[in-house]
Chains A and B, each alone.
Chain A
């Protein structure tokens, strides 16, 4: 458990944030730029003293202003991957990687050098110097350097922000691998919802220095507060299911979600794999009776639980499909025509192809390393 309760008054704004997040897992600090994300993790790292508050990691107190206690950053065993990598220019890649490792020689070495260079694809780069690396390579080295300091918590401050789309795709799978194969708790700062969707297990939603919502990704994806941070088109329920059937030719997989089955567009997931999919609210069609002769692959029968106004012309309809929740955005006039209200039975229609790029494989449950 990571318990955080921090107050920091700065000239521009006041950060006043509290949340308790389960560990291990990836905790996403999600919010627009200027919402206080970096200020918050600088305080977690101990690089910035809070005005008031407490930080506790797995029962150990790292900061407690009331007890006048603040563990020095160099003693926290918290790895920090900065947005700009911050590799030491006078050292080689190997020298950078070993910098933290050497200084962690007194703690159990649960992450080994070869393991990290293998996992992050750094073997060919070891003798190079930072200025000879591409942006993506630099971030991978920074990640490896932080990991080798044998951290109890890894902070990542928008590690992909300075990279173009192609380099981002190059680094993201490594981050996914870290989440799934090492059970280090991570705090991942981002303002890209797609990254959060792929990596996070828990979301802390920040706006103007306060926590709007905090909870598991599936829960926060349904929260009305999320709509204040992401653009309307990115709103949609996040569901997790297990692959029950595959159609390699069509490039689709069938997921068991809630009480129903969902066809999604996803190639690289075997039977039994856990998959997370976001069904964008704008892509969902609601029908009050079964419909024949449509190309839509998914028709999930459920019950309307809530209808909330979304903007002047549209409403968001929450549909419970056998335990899982789906969000649909329809126009207010469509709702009136169908006379939809809570308690009604509806079919939520989802095109499998609309999930392309919104379905991600989650690997096995994290394993604790000896």
Chain B
């Protein structure tokens, strides 16, 4: 078997990486915010919010993609506004694929970040307070650094999962070569074509290696940060 990648394979790989990167960059700050709200805020409807954040875990990805089409489609309430005011169109674009991926991987990210925030000793924040640190200062210099293992774990896991997002992407952004045909979509396309067996196998192996690499990288990174924190 030829080890070097064909241009179509490279393109699918590049697209998967681009989509996963954009999706993580977009959702990370929101995931930190959501984790913060779920851990620290007490308000009516918190349980509902919690369920809402976790919804993509249990919904069929195709349903998520469909809801996104309704909301972000050119005639949807958000999509129409984005197009009218900013000239932005999301369906059938790489950015749209990233949005669909971000929504799907959001719960994974929030869970990891929330877990690390729950482990942050509030006594340390009180100590920072007596040392003159205000709320934003405390968050940036104490809470956030102590959450770092969870943030990294969440980001890498979401990235690895994002490389392989299929259902929501194909529903919302379609299967356009060079635009939204990421690794899993390319794999699916190869399986549909009569002479695509070898390509399908190669793409499946590539996905396998990427996923494994991502998870290992996450584990190593988190261990390193934990060691710095003395845990």
Binding site for B on A (CB under 8 A): 45, 47, 72-80, 82, 84, 86, 88-90, 99-100, 103-104, 129-132, 145-146, 149
Q: Once the chains bind, are B134 and A74 in contact (CB under 8 Å)? A: yes
B133 within 8 A of A: yes
Q: With a CB–CB cut-off of 8 A, which chain B residues contact A77?
A: 132
Contacts of B148 in A (CB 8 A): 90
Q: What is the size, in residues, of chain B's interface with A at 8 Å between Cβ atoms? A: 22
Q: Are B228 and A84 in contact (CB under 8 A)?
A: no
Cβ distance B162 to chain A, nearest Cβ, rounded Å: 28
Chain B residue at minimum C-beta to C-beta distance from A95: B141
Report which of B137, B146, B230 forms a contact with A130, defined as CB distance below 8 A: B230
Q: Which 8 A-B residue pairs are closest in the complex by CB-CB distance?
A: A131-B230, A103-B132, A100-B131, A86-B127, A80-B130, A90-B145, A73-B129, A89-B229
B133 contacts A47, C-beta separation under 8 Å? no
Taking a contact as CB atoms closer than 8 A, the residue among A73, A88, A130 that contacts B130 in the complex is A73
**In the complex the two chains form, is B229's CB within 8 Å of A78's CB?**
no
Q: Is B124 on the interface with A (CB-CB < 8 A)?
A: yes
A86/B132 in contact, CB under 8 A: no
| B210, CB-defined interface residue at 8 Å | no
- Interchain residue pairs with CB less than 8 A apart (21): A47-B126, A47-B129, A47-B130, A73-B126, A74-B134, A79-B131, A82-B123, A84-B123, A86-B121, A86-B124, A86-B126, A86-B127, A88-B127, A88-B128, A88-B142, A90-B145, A99-B133, A103-B133, A131-B229, A146-B130, A149-B131
- A74 and B129 contact, CB distance less than 8 A: yes
Assess the B127–A82 pair: CB atoms within 8 A.
yes
Tell me how far the C-beta of A158 lies from the nearest C-beta in chain B, rounded to whole angstroms.
14
Verify B130–A79 contact, CB threshold 8 A: yes
Q: Could you tell me the distance between the alpha carbons of A47 and B132 in the complex, rounded to whole angstroms? A: 12
Which A residues are CB-close (under 8 A) to B141? 99
A186 CB to closest chain B CB, in angstroms?
14
Type the 1/0 row for B80-103, where 1 means its CB is closer than 8 Å to any CB of A.
Answer: 000000000000000000000000
> Which residues does chain B contribute within 8 Å of A132, judged by CB atoms?
230
Residues on the A chain within 8 Å of B131, using CB? 74, 79, 99-100, 103, 145-146, 149
Which has the most chain A C-beta neighbours within 10 Å: B127, B142, B145?
Answer: B127
Residues on B with beta carbons closer than 8 Å to the beta carbon of A86: 121, 123-124, 126-127
- Distance A129 CA – B132 CA, assembled complex (angstroms): 22
- List the interface of chain B (C-beta within 8 A of A): 121, 123-124, 126-134, 137, 141-142, 145-146, 148, 228-231
Asked if A149 and B132 sit within 8 Å, CB to CB, the answer is yes
Q: Is the CB of B132 within 8 A of A74?
A: yes
Contact A89:B132 (CB < 8 A) given known A130-B230, A131-B230: no
Contact of B230 among A47, A80, A99, A129 (CB under 8 A): A129
A-B contact sample (4 more), CB < 8 A, given A82-B127, A89-B124, A149-B131: A74-B134, A75-B132, A80-B130, A103-B132
Whether A74 pairs with B145 at a CB distance below 8 angstroms is no
Q: Is B130 a contact of A45 with CB atoms below 8 Å?
A: yes
Interface centre among A72, A86, A90, A145 (most CB of B within 10 A): A90
Enumerate chain B residues within 8 angstroms of A146, measured Cβ to Cβ.
Answer: 130-131
Task: Please give, as numbers and ranges, the residues of chain B lying within 8 Å of A89 by CB-CB distance.
Answer: 124, 146, 229-231
- A79 proximity list for chain B (CB < 8 A): 130-131
CA A53 – CA B123 in complex, angstroms? 25
Cα(A89)–Cα(B148), bound, Å: 12
Verify B130–A78 contact, CB threshold 8 A. Answer: yes
Q: Quick check: B127 and A90 within 8 Å, CB to CB?
A: no
Please, which residues of chain B bring their CB within 8 A of the CB of A80? Answer: 127, 130
**Complex Cα–Cα for A103 and B126 (A):** 15
For the complex formed, measure the closest distance between the CB of A198 and the CB atoms of chain B, giving whole angstroms.
25
Q: Which residues of B contact A103 (CB under 8 A)?
A: 131-133, 137
Report the bound CA distance from A157 to B63 in whole Å: 56
Complex CA gap A88/B129 in Å reads 12
Quick one: closest B residue to A42, CB to CB? B126
A132 CA / B229 CA spacing, docked (Å): 11
Whether B128 lies near A99 (C-beta < 8 A) is yes
A82: chain B residues within 8 A (beta carbon)? 123, 127
A132 to B228, CA, bound (A): 11
- Most chain B C-beta atoms within 10 Å of own C-beta, residue among A77, A103, A132: A103
Which A residue sits closest to B126, measured CB to CB?
A47
Taking CB atoms, residues of chain A closer than 8 Å to B124 are 86, 88-89
Report how far A130 CA is from B121 CA in the complex, Å: 15
- Please give, as numbers and ranges, the residues of chain A lying within 8 Å of B123 by CB-CB distance: 82, 84, 86
- Closest residue of chain B to A150 (Cβ to Cβ) is B132
What separation, in Å, do the CA atoms of A249 and B165 have in the docked complex? 85
How long is the Cα–Cα vector from A314 to B127 in the complex, in angstroms?
Answer: 48
